[in-house]
Amino acid sequence: MDLTKRGAAIALKRTGLSQREIGRRLEVPKSTIQQFFRVHRNSRLSNADLKDRRRSGRPRCTTRRQDRFIIRSISNDPSTDTSTVAAELPTQDGRPVSERTIRRRAAEAGLVHRVKRNAPLLTQAQRANRLRFAEAHINRTVDEWKNVLFSDESSVECGENHGQHWTWRRKGEEWRGENRKQTIKFAGHVSFWCNMSAAGPGSMIEVDGTMTSARYLALVRRHVQQDGERLCGEHFTFQQDNHSAHNAEEVLDYIETQGIQLLNWPANSPDLSPIENMFACLKRNVAERNPRDIIQLREIAQEEWNSFSPEYTTALISSIPLRLQEVIQNRGGPTSY
């Protein structure tokens, strides 16, 4: 019973009503009324304590020393798992401590077990370049970023499994160095070159084999000018990463002769490019449809790429100033994007 009904039960008892009648009036089982008055039989009804009495509860199965060992083990090695901690934990009277108990003790200290976030492995020079880029473009408006055509390559696999790495951390510490899973790009079964802007997705072209400068130049000739003017307008800026094929002399010469403005992109900065978020979403959507073979994979990937709405791509472009702000705050380090 809640406190209101408990007070009402005491008041009705003082009028001489039976426990059965009190239960009927309060719409509470007679057994509940009996138990309530049994607990308070040594108290005056007018001064009875209406709150639940303190319960001793089940004794803790770990000592303070064991609790400190658990927190110290997890804090010193955030990548450790509960089975390792349980195996190394000093026992009390020979009694083992379960992994579930270890997770509870960690939670009491504010530590939760979470998958490591992906983040690029950056050198000091790359961090410095990212910082300079962010400081140079931090005042650029969202409308100006809408005039940029972003491009990149990615791969999609049948039954793709990126793997999950777990770590112990406190809330708000997901982007600390030891809590991130550092990643390197890899080739998949089907590779695509794509571009996008705030107006929506652009071309999605399958790349057969290694991306060479000749193949990339053919893509640029065929699609960049056309997609840039369609998605961004006549005076657009083109973004590409620092892949060796992208920076080949013949490619840069062609971009210059066509009068296309090229964005000076910092190396190893996928977290700054909104097209990377599209690729991540694309892979999840493709995986949910579970393509059975490469032919079906190609069809599904193209369908999912074309299904991205302008509202979604505009939201991604609008996040760029926030990404740059994080780069400055982290002194060139990885962002939460």
- With vertex at residue 95, the alpha carbon angle to CA 89 and CA 99, rounded to the nearest 5 degrees, is 50
pLDDT value of residue 174:
75
First-to-final CA distance of the chain:
49
**pLDDT of residue 328 exceeding 80:** yes
> b/e for 12-27, b at 16 or more Cβ within 10 A?
bbeeeeebeebbeebe
Residue 170, pLDDT > 50, answer yes
- Residue 134's contacts (CB-CB under 8 Å, 6 or more residues apart) are 324, 325, 327, 328, 332
Looking at residue 188, its pLDDT comes to 46
In this prediction, what percent of the chain has a pLDDT beyond 90? Answer: 58
Per-residue pLDDT, 238: 98
Weakest mean pLDDT among 26-40, 262-276, 292-306, 316-330:
26-40
Binning pLDDT at 50, 70 and 90, where does residue 334 land? Answer: very high
Count the neighbouring beta carbons within 10 Å of the beta carbon of residue 130: 27
Beta bridge partners of 112: 169
Q: Is the pLDDT of residue 270 over 90?
A: yes
Instruction: Convert the pLDDT of each residue in 40-78 to its tens digit.
Output: 665 555 555 666 666 677 788 888 889 999 999 999 998
pLDDT of residue 194: 97
Q: What is the mean pLDDT of the chain?
A: 88
Candidates 221, 225, 229; CA nearest to 251 is: 221
Which secondary-structure segment (H or E) carries 149?
strand 148-156
**41-55, 136-150, 152-166 — which one is most confidently predicted on average?**
136-150
211 versus 171: the higher-pLDDT residue is: 211
Asked whether the beta carbons of 216 and 246 are under 8 A apart, the reply is: yes
DSSP state of 132: H
pLDDT value at residue 44: 55
Could you tell me where the DSSP H helices lie in the chain?
Answer: 3-14, 19-26, 30-39, 64-76, 82-88, 99-108, 124-137, 142-145, 213-219, 225-231, 249-257, 274-289, 294-306, 310-318, 320-329
Phi, psi values for residue 201, rounded to 5°: -75, 145
pLDDT at site 90: 83
CB 300 within 8 A of CB 289: yes
pTM of the model as a whole: 0.67
* Average pLDDT of the residues in 296-307: 95
Map out the domains of the chain as residue ranges: 3-47, 64-110, 123-164+185-329
CB 166 within 8 A of CB 180: no
Q: Any idea which residue has 């940029």 for tokens?
A: 148
Answer whether residue 163 shows pLDDT above 80: no
Residues facing residue 170 across a β-bridge? none
pLDDT at 186 over 50: no
Pairing state of beta strands 148-156 and 190-197? antiparallel
Q: Which residue has the tokens 């990377």?
A: 276
Q: What is the pLDDT of residue 292?
A: 83
Give phi and psi for 159, each to the nearest 5: 60, 40
Which is more confident, 153 or 289?
153
17-21, 34-38, 62-66, 299-303: which has the minimum mean pLDDT?
A: 34-38
The stretch 97-120 carries a mean pLDDT of 87
Residues 164-178 have a mean pLDDT of 75
Confidence of residue 158 (pLDDT cuts 50, 70, 90): confident
Summarised one tens digit per residue, pLDDT across range 193-245 is: 999 999 999 999 999 889 999 999 999 999 999 999 999 999 999 999 999 99
**Per-residue confidence at 79, pLDDT binned at 50, 70, 90?**
confident
Q: Indicate the fold that domain 123-164+185-329 takes in CATH.
A: Nucleotidyltransferase; domain 5 (3.30.420)
Q: Which two tokens stand for residue 49?
A: 């304590």
